[in-house]
């Protein structure tokens, strides 16, 4: 097993929080890890959202380490020693199909039209309320999994603002702790010190058939077609500490 030293206990806590949220949606979740240039990237795919979630963390050393492996999210979570900021990488597992199709290394360009963070949060809340209202309004004989899925697809496939990003990407970002008020701490796992840098604005990026909702706490990527999916850390922001 490989032991990685993260750049502080906060990085370890953030990563643990992210893995915990992934496991909430899939107890058997697998994640793909890539480490290069002092940055660790963790890729996961919560099945409820049909998106790719990306969480990055800074490494304290091993700047020349070149790691690319798919592991159990649960075992990886168990291997995090938060106070010491150490991450033990478990044995590799056979990855799911999505793990072989990741966003491209570079070529990302900013796309306009994304609503402000507060507007995104309100839009997601309104969509959740709409789904519940429409579900409750269904006659008993129509309250089936298929009908609920149909309503969900209709709502979460809507485009956000003047973009082609589906609403489910913002929903996933909020559910995974990536979309939070600007005054919240800069760490996804909880609070931060007053001296920590302020979170940067949300941005929408596009490259190679992918759209990526980038936040200070992580990214949500959606494949829009034509992507061949390459590995890589370039263009992925490192979480501020």
Provide the strand spans (E) within the chain. 2-5, 30-36, 39-44, 52-58, 67-72, 80-81, 86-89, 109-110, 203-207, 210-215, 218-223
**Mean per-residue pLDDT, 131-142:** 93
In CATH, the number for domain 2-100 is 3.10.150
Does the structure show a pLDDT above 70 at 134? yes
Does the structure show a pLDDT above 50 at 228? no
Q: What is the domain partition of the chain in residue ranges?
A: 2-100, 109-223
Determine the pLDDT at residue 63: 66
Determine the pLDDT at residue 166: 95
pLDDT tens across 86-108, in order? Answer: 999 999 999 899 999 999 878 99
pLDDT tens across 35-75, in order? Answer: 988 899 999 999 888 899 999 999 987 667 789 999 999 99
28 vs 194 pLDDT, higher one: 28
Compute the distance between CA of residue 241 and CA of residue 126 in angstroms, rounded to an integer. 32
DSSP class of 188:
T
Does the structure show a pLDDT above 50 at 186? no
Contact 154, 148 (CB under 8 A): no
Determine the pLDDT at residue 95: 85
Does the structure show a pLDDT above 70 at 203? yes
């Amino acid at each position: 097993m490989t032991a990685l030293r993260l750049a502080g206990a906060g990085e370890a806590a953030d990563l643990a929080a992210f893995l915990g949220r992934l496991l909430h949606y899939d107890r058997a979740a697998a994640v793909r890890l890539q480490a290069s240039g002092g940055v660790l990237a963790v890729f996961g795919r919560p099945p409820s959202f049909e998106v790719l979630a990306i969480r990055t963390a800074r490494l304290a050393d091993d700047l020349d380490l070149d790691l690319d492996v798919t592991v159990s999210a649960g075992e990886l979570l168990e291997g995090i020693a938060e106070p010491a900021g150490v991450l033990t990488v478990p044995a590799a597992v056979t990855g799911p199909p999505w793990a072989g199709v990741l966003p491209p290394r570079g070529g990302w360009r900013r796309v306009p039209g994304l609503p402000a963070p507060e507007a995104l949060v309100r839009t997601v809340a309104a969509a959740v309320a709409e789904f519940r209202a429409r579900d409750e309004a269904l006659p008993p004989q129509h309250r089936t999994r298929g009908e609920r899925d149909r309503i969900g697809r209709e709502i979460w496939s809507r485009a956000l603002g003047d973009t082609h990003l589906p609403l489910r990407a913002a929903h996933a970002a909020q559910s995974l702790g990536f979309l939070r008020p600007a005054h919240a701490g800069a760490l996804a796992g909880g609070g931060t010190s007053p001296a920590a840098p302020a979170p940067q604005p949300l941005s929408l990026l596009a490259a190679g058939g992918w759209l990526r909702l980038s936040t200070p706490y992580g990214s949500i990527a959606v494949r829009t077609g034509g992507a061949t999916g390459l590995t890589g850390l370039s263009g992925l922001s490192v979480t501020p500490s």
